[in-house]
Structure 1
Amino acid sequence: MTASITIIGLGTGDPDQLTLGIWRRLQGAERLYLRTEDHPMVHMLQDHGIAYTTYDNLYEAKASFPEVYEGIAADLIRLALAEQGEVLYAVPGHPMVAESTVQILREQCPAHGIELTILGGESFLDEAFTRFGFDPIDGFQLLDATSMTTASLQPQMHTIIAQVYDVHTASDVKLSLMEMYPDDYEVVIGHALGVRDQESIVSVPLHELDHAEGFGNLSLIWVPRTEREDVRNRTFNRLHEIVQILRSPEGCPWDREQTHQSIRKNLIEEMYEVLETIDDDDPDAMCEELGDVMLQVMLHSQMEEETGAFTVYDVIQKLNEKLLFRHPHVFGSNQADNSEEALQNWEQMKAEEKRRKGIKPEQQSILSGVPRDLPGLMKAYKIQKKAAKVGFDWEKIEDVYDKIDEELTELKEAVGSGDADHTLEELGDVLFAVVNVARYLKLDPEEALSSTNRKFLRRFEYIEEQLRISGKSFDQTDLLEMDRWWTEAKTRT
């Protein structure tokens, strides 16, 4: 006799909805196993003297739901192989809706030579569509409360969240939903839908979701679809749609006219505005400015989407693939116990990427990879760091101090010669030598200069403030007075 497992659905719990065929299989079962006894239809089995075995003990014995489901599937396979006959396994609702054990059995039974048969039953979704009163063709998604994330939410679709076993799970769901929906957004809780004398449907504002009572194995949450702008505006798809509209013939004339080259500098400017908010430790401003940077990415991506070259989703895919590939110590088998080892992994995988593109890293210049249009100080810093990795470096910082003195002397001579081009060259040499000092001190010269710029601005603004208090203009003061205010400002900043 061939080993076989037949899976049947017990429906939502209403005996009137159980098919005659399923009931006959239950009555004639020699070996009946239930995933859980916690289901309304079990009373009907008991009333008719139908024997069964449940796996409720595994819920206590195992540490997680996945372990429970694996354990149930393994035992059913063992039973089918041991007795070489049919094992009847009954689950709540429909076997193919939110039943992990069924999916595990579908994957594993063929390898064991076990014949698997699945017989339907009324799904909780059938009752949900009826009781909540929406048509799934309008757009519908089913999510598991134990594993859902904000990223899976699509507010323009009706969302049913199942497996809301208890108030703790409901609290986790609430927190995920509140990342997308307003606190007062109305959601609907359904308990035991379709079960006579047990069904309960209640609407609550989202922030009160986990204050409701009655959560259990037969609880669902319905989040109605919406076109509300305050909800849609929290989605990436809405951003993509807006940028498409701006660039369309019916959109903004200015946006339509832009090219990569015309808005090239905007990206740089927006990045510097982000840096300013970081320096000011201003999270609200940072949030806004990061959005402006994102807009530049969206505009450039949209321009290429219009030519068919790539879309913003291609950009996202390449970034995701790069992050996964360059972090083998997180997403692979490599190890990294500290940031230095993590950086080594990153560089190794970066070199491997080049090889896969037909580029031989060992044949490239040590100084390759430094962006052409970086600000001067930043570029000098990166060039020096790359050169230092192969030993082209000063032995001690005192040598760098001497080099600065040497370059200053040459700068003075160049100034004295009146040769502007030579003076410019020597000034660059002085700055390059100063960058070497910053590198030796493990300080970023760009950050150091930015800090000094901010300090100068604060002190100069103090001079301007004192002039206003005195009722003077710059024409009515002198360097001696301004220097005194400058000294005062130094004590305040």
Structure 2
Amino acid sequence: MATKSTLTVVGLGSGDADQLTLGVWRTLQNASRLYVRTENHPMMSLLRDNGIGCESFDRLYEQYDNFPEVYEAIASELIRLALEDGPDEAGAASAPSGSASSAAGIVYAVPGHPMVAERAVQLLRERCGEAGVELRIMGGESFLDQAFVRLGFDPIEGFQLLDATDLKPSLLQPLLHTVIGQVYDVFTASDLKLTLMERYPDDHPVIVGHALGVQGEERIERVPLYELDRIEGYGNLSLVWIPRSEDEALQNRSFDRLHEIVSILRSPEGCPWDREQTHQSIRKNFIEELYEALEAIDNDDPDNMREEFGDVILQVMLHSQMEEEVGSFSVYDVIQTLNEKLIFRHPHVFGDRGADNAEEALGNWEQMKAEEKKRNGTAEQRKSLLDGIPRDLPALMKAYKLQKKAAKAGFDWDDLDPVLAKIQEELGELREAAALGSADEKIGELGDLLFAVVNAARFVDADPEEALARTNAKFMRRFAYIEERLRIEGKTFDQTDLIEMDRFWEEAKSKE
């Protein structure tokens, strides 16, 4: 049977020579050529003292701009070296993975354990087989072993290991002990601090460990989070530990906690009022909360926005919880559907289409939306081009959307002039109905006039709902001015007349 070239990867442990395994030590001694990821490790002195020569890849850290490129280069070079070294005739066929043969051939030594935070080793696992190289991996004590001992926590309580160079707030879970490695320098510590502050208070206690388990070099410091990048000593053997916490303030910043609270409220042991609610009974609450959120937006009130947005989310959670209870879907299904929709409808962001401006982006959205309807079959279900507009949409908004859909089909005027003429026509018909018509005729003609005015909004690029909202706000300001002037003059509305109120109105108008 043909033998393969071999490459052995070993772990140098956490830095103390007493922690080095006997098998790894023998492999290091028997290596025909020994390569290390970096010489910046306490074990280098042991190798030198025992006359074991090695070559490091530190030069690659200077040659490339980022760590992924360095790890790619290390993996590629090691495979090339193994192939050049040739088959291990003495031990390749007989030595099992993880054992040391009499002649170890090419050996690559990494700090800690080869399978912990060593991207180049993962690349070797992916590529060696296809390249015709037999990969052997021999474990060593990782920095986690010393973290458990020196920091004094049991990982079975809940534990996660994260990379400081690629950390996202969504990965942070306060209920788990969190060890963050790869904190190479103060710049990495600074970026890490900012990410942690997305989830933890600025003064939350964190523990920094340097060279854990290495005699004479170990240092453990407990600092508030905001000081994480103000301490010295960061290097290859540095980590950050955030002990697990059941602090309610931390839990209340998570979506899972919100889901848990809502499910408790709806449970038999929860709130009697919440348990009794149905989709229909709280339907009006959804509408009210939306309008309160819109008011906070219009008032540019961040504090109120924060609260009102939460109330809107609560309505989504309650309705989703009701469906979860009968097995239809959960709020996580809602989130999944939304995420998939956003990705699908933004091919210019998540796909291969381009969009240089908002108009092109909107075009992509509409095209993908139409494709989406074809795929799920809703396009065939619609009999009219005007289908798809929510039945209970406020009338002003519904009129606007109806006209936009009709315009896409070509049912529209070319410019504003005939639209204004139509408004005049409808205004005349309203006058006639007001003078001679029935109540139904008056309502009908008024609706026609409003519909024509909404049409004008499209031609002046204005949202009629927003335009009317602005006018409402303007009316309230001017009317409030009239009330204030009357108060100053010691009058009530019974003691004034329209002429005086109109004068105050014009004063208010002039001050805007």
TM range (shorter): over 0.9
Distance in 1 between residues matched to 2:86 and 2:408, nearest whole Å:
68
Equivalent residue number for residue 84 of structure 2: 82
Equivalent residue number for residue 10 of structure 2: 8
Quickly say closer, same or farther: Cα 1:363–1:487, change in 2 above 3 A.
closer
Q: Once the 2 structures are TM-superposed, how far is the Cα of residue 364 of structure 1 from its aligned partner?
A: 4.7
Q: Which amino acid aligns with 2:28?
A: L
Show the 5 A alignment for 1:290-305: 290-305=309-324
1:351 maps onto 2:353 in alignment: no
Which of the numbers 114, 126, 132 marks the counterpart of 1:107?
A: 126
Equivalent residue number for residue 360 of structure 2: 341
Which of the numbers 477, 480, 494 marks the counterpart of 1:461?
A: 480
Contact 1:6 1:116 in 2 (8 A): yes
Distance in 1 between residues matched to 2:18 and 2:81, nearest whole Å:
32
Distance in 2 between residues matched to 1:253 and 1:489, nearest whole Å:
51
Equivalent residue number for residue 66 of structure 2: 64
Which of the numbers 440, 456, 459 marks the counterpart of 1:440?
A: 459
Task: Report SS of the residue matched to 2:217.
Answer: coil
1:491 maps onto 2:510 in alignment: yes
Equivalent residue number for residue 138 of structure 2: 119
Distance in 1 between residues matched to 2:382 and 2:393, nearest whole Å:
24
Task: Report SS of the residue matched to 2:212.
Answer: coil
Task: Report SS of the residue matched to 1:268.
Answer: helix
Task: Report SS of the residue matched to 2:499.
Answer: helix
Q: Once the 2 structures are TM-superposed, how far is the Cα of residue 452 of structure 1 from its aligned partner?
A: 0.4
Q: Which runs of 5+ in 2 are unaligned?
A: 88-104
Equivalent residue number for residue 401 of structure 1: 420
Distance in 2 between residues matched to 1:220 and 1:364, nearest whole Å:
62
Partner deviation per Cα, 1:200-250 (whole Å, 9 max, x = no partner): 000001111110110111100001111112211111111111111111222
Contact 1:189 1:219 in 2 (8 A): yes
Which of the numbers 301, 313, 320 marks the counterpart of 2:339?
A: 320
Q: Percent identity?
A: 67
Q: Which runs of 5+ in 1 are unaligned?
A: none
Q: Which amino acid aligns with 2:144?
A: L
Equivalent residue number for residue 158 of structure 2: 139
Distance in 2 between residues matched to 1:186 and 1:397, nearest whole Å:
65
Which of the numbers 381, 385, 392 marks the counterpart of 2:404?
A: 385
Distance in 2 between residues matched to 1:489 and 1:50, nearest whole Å:
90
Show the 5 A alignment for 1:56-455: 56-85=58-87, 86-360=105-379, 364-455=383-474
Task: Report SS of the residue matched to 2:209.
Answer: strand
Task: Report SS of the residue matched to 1:335.
Answer: coil
| Greater mean deviation of Cα atoms: 207-216 or 344-353 | 344-353
Task: Report SS of the residue matched to 1:146.
Answer: helix
Q: Which amino acid aligns with 2:247?
A: R
Distance in 2 between residues matched to 1:408 and 1:219, nearest whole Å:
78
Distance in 1 between residues matched to 2:7 and 2:387, nearest whole Å:
63
Distance in 1 between residues matched to 2:379 and 2:434, nearest whole Å:
45
Distance in 2 between residues matched to 1:436 and 1:240, nearest whole Å:
43
Contact 1:351 1:361 in 2 (8 A): no
Q: Once the 2 structures are TM-superposed, how far is the Cα of residue 258 of structure 1 from its aligned partner?
A: 1.1
When normalised by structure 2's length, the TM-score is 0.94
Q: Which amino acid aligns with 1:12?
A: S
Contact 1:95 1:119 in 2 (8 A): yes
Q: Once the 2 structures are TM-superposed, how far is the Cα of residue 418 of structure 1 from its aligned partner?
A: 3.2
Q: Which amino acid aligns with 1:394?
A: W
Q: Which amino acid aligns with 1:100?
A: R
Task: Report SS of the residue matched to 2:42.
Answer: coil
Distance in 2 between residues matched to 1:441 and 1:482, nearest whole Å:
32
Contact 1:401 1:437 in 2 (8 A): yes
Contact 1:32 1:88 in 2 (8 A): yes
Contact 1:463 1:486 in 2 (8 A): yes
Distance in 2 between residues matched to 1:401 and 1:208, nearest whole Å:
65
Q: Once the 2 structures are TM-superposed, how far is the Cα of residue 103 of structure 1 from its aligned partner?
A: 1.0
Distance in 1 between residues matched to 2:375 and 2:44, nearest whole Å:
60
Q: Once the 2 structures are TM-superposed, how far is the Cα of residue 363 of structure 1 from its aligned partner?
A: 6.8
1:21 maps onto 2:23 in alignment: yes
Q: Once the 2 structures are TM-superposed, how far is the Cα of residue 487 of structure 1 from its aligned partner?
A: 1.9
Equivalent residue number for residue 34 of structure 2: 32
Equivalent residue number for residue 50 of structure 1: 52
Q: Once the 2 structures are TM-superposed, how far is the Cα of residue 481 of structure 1 from its aligned partner?
A: 2.5
Task: Report SS of the residue matched to 1:240.
Answer: helix
Q: Once the 2 structures are TM-superposed, how far is the Cα of residue 492 of structure 1 from its aligned partner?
A: 2.6
Partner deviation per Cα, 1:294-351 (whole Å, 9 max, x = no partner): 1111111111111111111111111111111111111111111111111111112111
Distance in 1 between residues matched to 2:499 and 2:143, nearest whole Å:
85
Distance in 2 between residues matched to 1:417 and 1:349, nearest whole Å:
51
Partner deviation per Cα, 1:41-74 (whole Å, 9 max, x = no partner): 1111111111111111111111111111111111
Q: Which amino acid aligns with 2:325?
A: E
Q: Which amino acid aligns with 1:18?
A: L
Distance in 2 between residues matched to 1:405 and 1:257, nearest whole Å:
52
Task: Report SS of the residue matched to 1:30.
Answer: strand
RMSD between superposed Cα atoms in Å: 1.4
| Greater mean deviation of Cα atoms: 52-61 or 248-257 | 248-257
Quickly say closer, same or farther: Cα 1:327–1:361, change in 2 above 3 A.
farther
Distance in 1 between residues matched to 2:328 and 2:489, nearest whole Å:
62
